[in-house]
Amino acid sequence: MLSRVMSSALIGIDAYLVDVEVDIAHGLPSLSTVGLAEGAVRESKERVKAAIKNSGYDFPSDRITINLAPADVKKEGSGFDLPIAIGILAAMGFLAPESCAGYLFMGELALDGLLRPVKGVLPIAVGARDKDLKGIFLPEENAPEAAVVEGVNVYPVRSLSEVVEALLGISVPNLYFHTPYQEDEGDDRGLDLKEVMGQENAKRALEVCAAGGHNLIMVGPPGSGKTMMARRLVTVLPPLTFDESIETSKVYSVMGLMPKGAGLITIRPFRSPHHTISNAGLIGGGSNPKPGEVSLAHNGILFLDELPEFQRNVLEVLRQPLESGEVNISRASVRVTYPARFVLVAAMNPCPCGYRGDETRECLCSHAEIERYRSRISGPLMDRIDIHLEVPAVKYRDLTVSRHGASSGDIRGRVLAARKIQEARFKGSGTHTNGGMRNREIKRFCEIDRDSSLLLEKAMERFGLSARAYSRILKVSRTIADLDGSASIAVPHIAEAIQYRALDRKAYP
């Protein structure tokens, strides 16, 4: 007898429906799976057999063939255990085919028939809603994640027998209701920029970075607070919108990184990979492509500490996501696209020993060593970083002062006001922040008066700034003007933006 049960699989961060077809025919006892099933799917036969028996049901001693359609796309993961078990029981005649119709089944089976959580439930729930299915049966632990998708019924279950009883009409399955999304009013990581002693100029640059979505690099000696400030930058960013939360949560769902019991990622991600990371680890990839750190940082911050220590070829792969906000990975059988719109924050020492420009420590590096150290970061990558910030060593008087600067909450209020201006400015254009402005938008929104133009001209001649640096200065000055509530860019805005091009200046050693 033949049965057909519906399940789902993933390509990238999007789901597609999979028909699980089960045929039971006379012959020697066997169970075979076809349809490009990967290792975990092929191994499911032993789990399914034990789960059915230990749940109190008979297992057929016939030839069982399982087909996962479409057969030309690889399927991986243990989430097919439940639909295969339901398909076998339906093919035996124990379950009526119409009782399974219109439902999607997903879940890993333990040998005793209990269900274990699986990855990628959020995009699967989105796919089920788009196909107008009746509902989804899935492990109880995955229910909060699936229930955030409106328009699809979510039935959390703990065991195979619970699913069977619901399909037989013996019991009524519980329906999990979603909780309306609420934006976080503040970041709950327990970090605050007021904890950073001194460095008021650097904090101002972080405010500009957050307000305009500008990429930033900090250059300073060890112990100057670069890492501390980078980790607190996320606390001044605007809260995630519902759409941003869905996008980010999809990536984390596919990777199995959703916090336990959480339906959505509600705070902006902060990712800080080690400098030994590989291309695939940073950008994503593998034989079955998976998202990398740039996608896990989507709608948040990617922090690269000790930037010159990263392999040059690893840094070069950042150029595409920094430009387009996404990552395209092609393999022989599949092409996937992952979102990767993030703010890049990098930190580095001014020289190999780290103490060039320090008033208390002598630098022992030669000019040639410094040039080699900085040349590890390519020009095209540096061109994509809007703000170059010098972070000096903290002075003793800054460590002992009792008065602190502005808190993250205060700065966040100013950032939100600037973002609202940008939201109105770019409405319907596909651009979200000043940092993402294209050339035509720079010409339209970054007009400057004669005095500002003369100042910028002198700065370009004196410091040898490039044409791309010119565009970056205009974008940053537009953000500074927004923070001031100014409709036009003035001389002070240009002057401050010029200060944030430290690594472009010829005078910088």
| pLDDT mean over 227-254 | 94
Q: Which pLDDT belongs to residue 334?
A: 80
Q: Which pLDDT belongs to residue 187?
A: 60
Is 196 within 8 Å of 231 (Cβ atoms)? no
pLDDT of residue 506 exceeding 50: no
Percentage of the chain surpassing pLDDT 90? Answer: 74
- Whole-number mean pLDDT of the chain? 91
Mean pLDDT is lowest, of 157-171, 238-252, 360-374, 441-455, for 360-374
- Is the preceding peptide bond at 70 cis, omega within 30 degrees of 0? yes
Q: In this structure, how many other beta carbons lie within 10 angstroms of the beta carbon of residue 413?
A: 12
**Would you state the structure tokens that stand for residue 107, as one six-digit string?**
């879940």
Is this structure's pTM higher than 0.85? yes
Is 320 within 8 Å of 334 (Cβ atoms)? no
CA distances from 33 to 289, 305, 333 (A): 23, 47, 20
Residue 158 to residue 116: CA distance in whole angstroms: 8
Kind of pairing between the strands at 290-291 and 284-285 = antiparallel
pLDDT digits (tens, 9 = 90+) for 434-476: 999 999 999 999 999 999 999 999 999 888 888 888 999 999 9
pLDDT of residue 496 exceeding 90: yes
Residue 404 to residue 409: CA distance in whole angstroms: 13
β-strand partners of 216: 345, 387
Q: Which pLDDT belongs to residue 391?
A: 93
**What letter would DSSP give residue 132?**
T
| pLDDT mean over 152-177 | 93
Helix 242-254 vs helix 121-130: angle between axes, to the nearest 10 degrees?
120
CATH topology (fold) of 193-424: Rossmann fold (3.40.50)
**Would you state the structure tokens that stand for residue 254, as one six-digit string?**
């596919």
Count Cβ neighbours within 10 Å for each residue of 415-448 and write b for 16 or more, e otherwise.
Answer: beebbebbeebbeeeebbbbbbbeeebbeebbeb
pLDDT of residue 357 exceeding 90: no
Residue 107 to residue 412: CA distance in whole angstroms: 41
* Of residues 75, 142, 84, 74, the one with CA closest to residue 109: 84
Q: Is 9 helix (H, G, I), strand (E, B) or coil?
A: strand
| pLDDT mean over 479-492 | 96
pLDDT of residue 37 exceeding 90: no
Question: What is 437-509's CATH number, 1.10.3470, 2.50.20, 1.20.120, 1.10.8?
Answer: 1.10.8
Instruction: Give 53: exposed, middle or buried? Use CB within 10 Å, 0-12, 13-18, 19+.
Output: middle
Residue 116 to residue 108: CA distance in whole angstroms: 5
Residue 145 to residue 68: CA distance in whole angstroms: 25
pLDDT of residue 188 exceeding 70: no
Q: Which pLDDT belongs to residue 310?
A: 96
**What letter would DSSP give residue 467?**
H
Residue 312 to residue 392: CA distance in whole angstroms: 26
Q: Is 64 helix (H, G, I), strand (E, B) or coil?
A: strand
Q: Which secondary-structure segment (H or E) carries 284?
A: strand 284-285
Count Cβ neighbours within 10 Å for each residue of 357-366 and write b for 16 or more, e otherwise.
Answer: bbeeeebebe
Q: How far apart are the first and last CA of the chain?
A: 79
User: pLDDT grade, residue 509 (50/70/90)?
Assistant: very low
Q: Is 126 helix (H, G, I), strand (E, B) or coil?
A: helix
pLDDT of residue 330 exceeding 90: no
User: pLDDT grade, residue 507 (50/70/90)?
Assistant: very low
Q: Which pLDDT belongs to residue 331?
A: 79
Domain parsing of the chain, residue ranges? 2-168, 193-424, 437-509
One-letter amino acid at 266 equals T
Report, in this order, helix, strand and coil percent for the chain, each rounded to 5. Answer: 40, 20, 40
Q: Which residue has tokens 């984390």?
A: 252
**What letter would DSSP give residue 114?**
B
pLDDT digits (tens, 9 = 90+) for 79-115: 999 999 999 999 999 999 999 999 999 999 999 999 9
Is 222 within 8 Å of 400 (Cβ atoms)? no
| pLDDT mean over 475-498 | 96
pLDDT digits (tens, 9 = 90+) for 40-77: 888 899 999 999 999 999 999 999 999 999 988 888 88
The CATH-assigned architecture of domain 2-168 is 2-Layer Sandwich (3.30)
